[in-house]
């Protein structure tokens, strides 16, 4: 594990995508998350597509971006459905799209189909695309192949996980960094609950962090410093 760094040395807030992907989320919770994102200076708020328009209204003219998920959480919808979902999300105000790749295609070697699907979303939307590769259920060879194909397709970030099958690890972030060599960003997501975890992932190479616990992480760390 990477050596712990005190919060005075690393401000993790700008790395955080403040994530609300609870199926029972309410408009009041979206409002709260948007308020928190502005207050704590998070990179973005990540909500389901049905809440993109509301998040856009709440964050109009404010620094946090509006992120949403596409093909979530399985990635198994058709390419046409994913493209439509992505285009509609952009029309409603999303500027960052976290797209779950078709993992079956990756595992059976249909890399051309995988490439075409993601490349079309990148080209047609013109927005930041974070391709979710679900590292916990891939072999190292599959992870390497996914990163290469997705970089060629034009994505902006490789994202480790949906959080449904486990979360980000330092080892996976380091592997993605070694393959991508700075060509794309790396979003570590899933299971990030402490400041120490966040710092370790950033040191390993993560340039974004997906977590629903950003406020808890920051406020707990402040309390530790004050005690």
The catalytic residues are: 98, 159, 187
Distances in Å between the Cα of 179 and the Cα atoms of 92, 112, 183, 199 are 34, 19, 9, 21
Cβ atoms 192, 220 nearer than 8 A: no
Q: Is 165 exposed, middle or buried (0-12, 13-18, 19+ CB in 10 A)?
A: middle
Q: For residue 117, give both structure tokens.
A: 């699907």
Cβ atoms 71, 105 nearer than 8 A: no
Give the Cα separation of 29 and 61 in Å (integer). 20
Q: How many CA atoms lie within 13 A of 91 on its CB side?
A: 8
Peptide bond into 167 cis (omega under 30): no
Handedness of CA 163, 130, 193, 56 (dihedral sign): negative
Torsion angles phi and psi, residue 77, rounded to 5: -70, 165
């Amino acid at each position: 594990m990477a050596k712990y760094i005190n919060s005075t040395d690393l401000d993790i807030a700008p790395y955080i995508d403040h994530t609300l992907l609870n199926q029972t989320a309410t408009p009041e919770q979206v409002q709260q998350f948007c308020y928190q994102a502005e207050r704590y200076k998070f990179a973005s708020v990540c909500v389901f597509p049905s809440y993109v328009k509301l998040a856009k209204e709440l964050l109009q003219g404010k620094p946090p971006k509006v992120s949403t998920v596409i093909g979530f959480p399985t990635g198994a919808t058709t390419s046409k459905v994913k493209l439509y979902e992505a285009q509609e999300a952009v029309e409603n105000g999303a500027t960052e799209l976290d797209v779950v790749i078709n993992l079956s295609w990756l595992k059976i070697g249909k890399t051309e189909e995988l490439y075409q699907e993601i490349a079309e979303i990148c080209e047609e939307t013109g927005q930041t695309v974070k391709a979710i590769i679900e590292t916990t259920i891939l072999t190292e060879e599959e992870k390497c192949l996914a990163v290469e194909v997705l970089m060629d397709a034009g994505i902006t970030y490789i994202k480790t996980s949906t959080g449904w099958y486990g979360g980000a690890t330092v080892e996976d972030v380091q592997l993605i960094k070694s393959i991508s060599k700075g060509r794309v960003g790396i979003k570590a997501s899933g299971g990030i609950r402490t400041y120490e975890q966040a710092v370790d992932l950033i040191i390993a190479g993560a340039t974004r962090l997906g977590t629903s616990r950003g406020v808890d992480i920051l406020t707990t760390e402040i309390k530790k410093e004050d005690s």
